[in-house]
Amino acid sequence: MVITAVLVFIIGGYWAFKSFYIAPKEIEAQKEMYIAQYYFEKDSFALALNGDGQYLGFSEIAADYGLTKSGNLSSYYAGLCNFAFRELRRSNIRFRRFFY
């Protein structure tokens, strides 16, 4: 009986965390990524990585929304931007965060 209650509590807590915390953060991260992706497509890697003052760049999105899929993808984009600047150590760190 106690084991069942603990199991229900753990599963319910995980579901609530995913539904009420991660899902809204995912939507916010997608909205933030829009401008950074635009800059990335235009080869403005500095703006894509660091933002333009009004919108966040990939590095900040990855830090703020790291638990979301979009935050994870931002780590990859940030790694590509660092690679474009020949910052290989930072690029490697970003890619490791994306893949692991």
**Over the chain (100 residues), what is each successive 10-residue block's mean pLDDT?**
91 93 94 94 95 94 93 95 94 90
pTM value?
A: 0.85
pLDDT at 100 (0 to 100): 80
3-state secondary structure the chain: CHHHHHHHHHHHHHHHHHHHHHHHHHHHHHHHHHHHHHHHHCCCHHHHHHCCCCCCCHHHHHHHCCCCHHHHHHHHHHHHHHHHCCCHHHHHHHHHHHHC
pLDDT at 33 (0 to 100): 95
pLDDT at 1 (0 to 100): 84
pLDDT at 82 (0 to 100): 95
